[in-house]
Chain A
Amino acid sequence: MDSQRAGDAAYKAVITMWDQYVSPRYDFAPELLVAKIQDRRIIKTRTVIPGCASADENCRLILAEGVQVVVTGAIRRRYFEYLIWKKIRVLDTVRGPWERALELLRLGELGPEAVLYDERGL
C-alpha cells in the first residue's frame, strides 16, 4: 500500500469494470478503467474495451500500460501469481461500485476483499 500513499510518485491502476461495479470476474471484465493517480489526486482516467475479454488479454494490456495496481473481483491463481511475479499489486475480491473503489484507491485506503456497497446494498 506504501506506493499509493500521498506524496508518492505517480502510478497507474486498473479497475476491471462491469457496468457500475467492479467486475466479479477478472477474465470476463467487459471494460477496464486505467487511472493515473498522484498525490491523492486522479490525474487521468480512460476506459479500455478489450477486443475479446480474457485474462490473457487483460494481463497483456496491464503490462503494456505499466500498471502497478490491479483492482478486480475473482481472479484465478495462475493470473494472480503471474501479476505478483511481475511486481503488480493485485487487490482482488473487491465488491461494489467501481467509482467507490477508485475513490478509496485514491485515498490509499482500498484493500483486498473490500465490500463497498452502502446500507441499502447499492
Chain B
Amino acid sequence: MERHRDTAYKPQPDTDEGMVCSLVRLFDRPVEFKKVLDELPLGIVFISLQRRVLQMNSHLECMTGFSADSVTGLPCWDVLRCNQCVNSCLIREAGRSKLPVTRHCDLVNRERRRLGVKITAVPVHDKDGRLSGFMEVVHEDEQAESGRDSLEPQLQLGSFVGRSEQLKKLFRVVPAVAQTDSSVLITGETGTGKDLLAEIIHRNSERFDGPFIKINCGSLPENLLESELFGHSKGAFTGAASDKMGRLRLAHNGSVFLTEIGDLSLTLQIKLLTFLDDKVVHPLGSTKGYQTDVRVIAATHRNLEHMVREGNFRQDLLYRLNVVRLHLPPLREREGDVPLLLDHFLKYFGARFSKSRISFRDRARNFLLHYAYPGNIREIRNIVEYAVNICGGEKIDLEDLPAYLFDQDFPAVNGQEEQSALEGGRVELESGESWPAIERKMILEAMLACRGKKAEAAEWLGWSRSKLWRKIKEHGVE
C-alpha cells in the first residue's frame, strides 16, 4: 500500500524477528496462530484495549482490502470502517457489558465497495478475569441488506397475508418496530397470528441471527415455569441434579417471546419485572446474577387492562411490556381478507397436495365467505386444508367442508359475545352489520336464488331443512 508521509508511524511487524504468536501446549508441536486464523472462513481481528489492531486473518484482509501488516497498530475504526464504528462502538459496548455483542452493520472496503456484515465483538479476559483486549468476528451478510430493503408495505409480510386497512397499517408499522429494541406487546384473539408476528419482528430485527426463544407462560405450573425461565443451580431443589441455564439466558443476543403472558402468576410477574428492569437473571438457588441482552416480546389474548383492574396483573409489568403495542384484529374485522386468505390457502394446499387445479364451487365459496371464523386464521387454514384433502375432484363443494360447520349454529356469535363482554364494546362484523343481520341477508339471498324453494335454499346455504325453518322463524323472514 502506498503510504504518504508515514515515516513517523511504524506498525509492529509480525515477523520471525518481531512477534510471532504461537499456540503452545495445545498440539504436540507449537503452531503459528496466524496460520490457524487464516484457515477460518470468516474474518477475525484481535484488538488491544486502546482499540488498535493487533492481528487479523486473511479472510478479513480480503473483505477490507488491507493487508494485516499494513494496518497492525492502526485504530480498528480505520480498518473495519463500519457505520457502527462512528455511531456506537461495539468494542466499547462489549467492554462495558463484559459480554459478546453482535450487530448487523456495513463496512466500506478499500475498493470503495459497501459490504453488509455481522460483527460480534468479544471481550477477552486474562486468567484473573481482567479485560485484556477484544476479538471481533466478521461475517459477510449481504442478505441482511436486501432483506431489510424488501420489507415494503404490500399484501404479504412474512407469512401474513391481507389487504384490509388494519393489516396494511400493521405492515407499515412492523418493519420500523422490528428495528427498534423496545419491548413489544402483541394482543389479539386466539388464532390471529400473534406467534407469527413475534417471529416476524425477531427475523426483521438486528437480532435476527440470534436465538428466538418462545416460552408459553400458561403451559407449566409456577415452580416449573420459574426454573424454565430463570434456570436453577445444582441442588436448588429436590431433583435439581445439575445447573440449568434457563431460557432467558439462552436467548442472550436474541429475542424472548413470552406468549400467554396474562396467565403468569403474580409471584412470577414480580420476578419478570425485576428482570426487565435490570436484564439480570438470578437462577433459583444461586446468589450470582447473569447479565443478558434480550429483547422481550409478549403476547396475550386476554385484556390486560381488565386484569389489572381486577388485581390479577401487575400494572407496572403492563407498563414495562406495553412500550410498543400491536393489536391483531380478528378476521371478522378484516374487511376483504377472507377471500384473499381462501385463495391463498387453496393455492398453498393445492400445491402441497399436488392438486394445483383445485378450486371452490360457488356455493361452497359463498358459504365460506359468510362464515364468521371464531378461530380466525387458524380456523380458515384448517378448513381449507381439510377441504383440499377430502375433495376427490377439482371443485370443492359443501360436502367437502368440515361437518362441524353445519352441525351447529355459527359459533362466532357466542365467541364474539364473550370477547365483547371482555372488551366492554359491541361487536360489529366486517361490513359493520351485526351477525344476525348478515344471516338474515344470507337467507334472503338463498331464497331469491332458489326462487323460494326452501329445500333448495337449505342446500344452497349448506344447512339442514330444519335449521333453515328455524332460522326463517327466528329472523321473521316471510
Residue of B9, B107, B111 near A115 (CB, 8 A) is B9
Given A28-B87, A30-B86, decide whether A113 and B8 contact each other with a Cβ distance below 8 A: no
Which B residue's beta carbon lies closest to that of A119? B8
Give Cα A112 to B5, complex, Å.
11
Question: What chain B residues lie within 8 Å of A15 (beta carbons)?
Answer: none
Question: What chain B residues lie within 8 Å of A25 (beta carbons)?
Answer: 81-83, 85-86, 108
Give Cα A28 to B114, complex, Å.
13
Give Cα A28 to B84, complex, Å.
10
* Interface-lining segment among B69-77, B170-178, B190-198: B69-77
24 CB-based A-B contacts, threshold 8 Å: A21-B75, A24-B78, A28-B83, A73-B78, A73-B81, A74-B81, A76-B108, A76-B114, A77-B111, A80-B112, A104-B4, A110-B4, A111-B2, A112-B4, A113-B2, A114-B6, A115-B4, A115-B9, A116-B5, A118-B9, A119-B9, A121-B52, A121-B73, A121-B75
Question: What chain A residues lie within 8 Å of B35 (beta carbons)?
Answer: none
* Chain B interface, DSSP helix/strand/loop, else mixed: loop
B9, A18: Cβ atoms closer than 8 Å: no
Question: What chain A residues lie within 8 Å of B10 (beta carbons)?
Answer: 119
Instruction: Give the number of residues in A that approach B within 8 Å (Cβ atoms).
Output: 32
B26 contacts A by Cβ under 8 Å: no
- Chain A 91-113, CB within 8 Å of chain B: the 1/0 string? 01101000000001000011111
B3 contacts A by Cβ under 8 Å: yes
Question: What chain A residues lie within 8 Å of B87 (beta carbons)?
Answer: 28
B114, A24: Cβ atoms closer than 8 Å: no
- Chain B 159-197, CB within 8 Å of chain A: the 1/0 string? 000000000000000000000000000000000000000
Given A95-B74, A95-B78, A113-B2, decide whether A118 and B86 contact each other with a Cβ distance below 8 A: no
Give Cα A97 to B52, complex, Å.
15
Question: What chain B residues lie within 8 Å of A114 (beta carbons)?
Answer: 3-6
For chain B, residues 442 to 478, give those with C-beta under 8 angstroms from any C-beta of chain A: none
Question: What chain B residues lie within 8 Å of A111 (beta carbons)?
Answer: 2, 4
Give Cα A30 to B112, complex, Å.
20
Give Cα A109 to B4, complex, Å.
8
B437 contacts A by Cβ under 8 Å: no
Instruction: Give the number of residues in B that approach A within 8 Å (Cβ atoms).
Output: 30
Give Cα A95 to B64, complex, Å.
15
B1 contacts A by Cβ under 8 Å: yes
Question: What chain A residues lie within 8 Å of B267 (beta carbons)?
Answer: none
A75, B75: Cβ atoms closer than 8 Å: no
Question: What chain B residues lie within 8 Å of A115 (beta carbons)?
Answer: 3-4, 6, 9, 74
B352 contacts A by Cβ under 8 Å: no
Which A residue's beta carbon lies closest to that of B84? A28
Residue of B3, B50, B85, B107 near A113 (CB, 8 A) is B3
A117, B86: Cβ atoms closer than 8 Å: no
Give Cα A74 to B78, complex, Å.
8
Known: A80-B112, A109-B5. 7 other contacts (CB 8 A): A25-B86, A25-B108, A29-B86, A74-B107, A76-B108, A113-B1, A114-B6
Which B residue's beta carbon lies closest to that of A91? B4
B81, A24: Cβ atoms closer than 8 Å: yes
For chain A, residues 15 to 63, give those with C-beta under 8 angstroms from any C-beta of chain B: 18, 21, 23-30
Which B residue's beta carbon lies closest to that of A118? B8
Question: What chain B residues lie within 8 Å of A110 (beta carbons)?
Answer: 4
B74, A18: Cβ atoms closer than 8 Å: no
Give Cα A41 to B180, complex, Å.
48
Question: What chain A residues lie within 8 Å of B426 (beta carbons)?
Answer: none
Q: How far is the CB of B66 from chain A (nearest CB, A)?
A: 9
B86, A28: Cβ atoms closer than 8 Å: yes
